[in-house]
Amino acid sequence: MTFDEWLASIPIHQTPKGARLNLRLYVYPDGHGNFCVEDAEGRVVSGDQPVNDPDEAQRVLDKLWFRAMAIRRAEPPTSGGKTLAQQLAEVVGTVPELPSDMAENHDHYLHGAPKR
């Protein structure tokens, strides 16, 4: 597997706060090391990617950073072109036993304001 193939295989997940990946870096006293990717349970999900010097490690981290930033900035899923009214149509009017004047006097029922 080439480096670019390895890089593209790294699972980066969209989260509510951004993007997440689990990456482990091993660095040895002689200056070489390797990266490996883990799943959410800590299991290694890709083969080790050797790193031979600090500059190479920095390039790997830079590429991963920019890839994660692109995912983080991805547009949220759309509603399929439906308006808010269309999205809520299935639940509108489904609450049982509401007063018949709930729409007109919702401030009274929710907040105790005088009825209209």
| Every domain of the chain and the residues it spans | 3-72, 79-116
pLDDT, tens only, 84-115: 777 777 777 777 788 888 888 888 887 888 98
Closest CA to 9 of 27, 35, 33: 35
pTM of the complete model: 0.48
Q: How much is the average pLDDT of 14-20?
A: 76
The C-alpha atoms of residue 105 and residue 116 are separated, in whole angstroms, by 6
pLDDT (tens digit per residue) in 27-73: 888 878 888 877 777 788 777 788 888 888 888 788 888 877 776 55
